[in-house]
């Protein structure tokens, strides 16, 4: 891999991580301790709202993993994915770009975990109505997320697509 390619590839995850951190800062104040989150800013009625929230768990609010373990896992994953990015066994563009998206998303959320012990989220999608229904939650609400989460999910989807579109692997380790 040429030096120019490495520089471009390094720029993609760094750009994503910086974009993630910048958008989190622009989203507004995050609640401290037991404070209630500030009111959200409706961007598109009954569809999109910017509302800051802390996520102490993993993607989509899975909170069964302790925060220290998430820091450890992400801290180990970042150099492994970076190695995987810069030592490719394939020239598949979808796979390589997927790796870069995963790396950028991991960097953005790792920064938050190291600085705050949790991740700042702010993007809320709704379907139908944003008004609370039974139980106090809107009837159809996607878990709150951020740019890093979006990059991680898109990267994993690209990696899966690349894997499925490659075809079966032969005994020599190459796609048939």
Q: Output the six-digit token pair for 172.
A: 């020599």
- Strand partners of residue 42: 49
Marked catalytic residue, from 20, 46, 112, 149 = 149
Marked catalytic residue, from 46, 63, 112, 121 = 121
Q: Output the six-digit token pair for 129.
A: 């109505």
The verdict on whether 20 is a catalytic residue reads no
d(CA 56, CA 109): 11
Are 114 and 24 in contact by the 8 Å Cβ rule? The answer is no
Q: Output the six-digit token pair for 49.
A: 């709202």
Burial 80-99 (b: 16+ CB within 10 A, else e): ebbebbeeeeeebebbbbbb
Helix (H) / strand (E) element for 25: namely helix 3-26
How many secondary structure helices (H) and strands (E) does the chain include?
4, 3
Are 121 and 145 in contact by the 8 Å Cβ rule? The answer is yes
The verdict on whether 149 is a catalytic residue reads yes
> Which of the residues are catalytic?
121, 149
């Amino acid at each position: 891999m040429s030096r120019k390619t490495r520089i471009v590839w390094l720029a993609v995850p760094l750009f994503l991580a910086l974009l993630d951190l910048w958008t989190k800062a622009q989203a507004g104040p995050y609640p401290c301790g037991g404070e209630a989150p500030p009111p959200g800013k409706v961007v598109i009625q009954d569809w999109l709202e910017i509302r800051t929230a802390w996520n102490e768990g993993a993607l989509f609010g899975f909170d069964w993993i302790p925060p220290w373990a998430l820091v450890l896992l992400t801290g180990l994953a970042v150099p492994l994915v970076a190695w995987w990015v810069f030592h490719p066994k394939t020239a598949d563009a979808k796979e390589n770009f997927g790796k870069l998206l995963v790396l950028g998303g991991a960097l953005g959320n790792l920064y938050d975990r190291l600085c705050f012990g949790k991740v700042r989220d702010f993007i809320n999608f709704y379907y139908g109505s944003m008004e609370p229904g039974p139980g106090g939650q809107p009837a159809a609400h996607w878990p709150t997320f951020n740019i890093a989460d979006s990059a991680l999910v898109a990267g994993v989807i690209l990696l899966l697509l690349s894997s499925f579109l490659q075809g079966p692997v032969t005994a020599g380790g190459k796609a048939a």
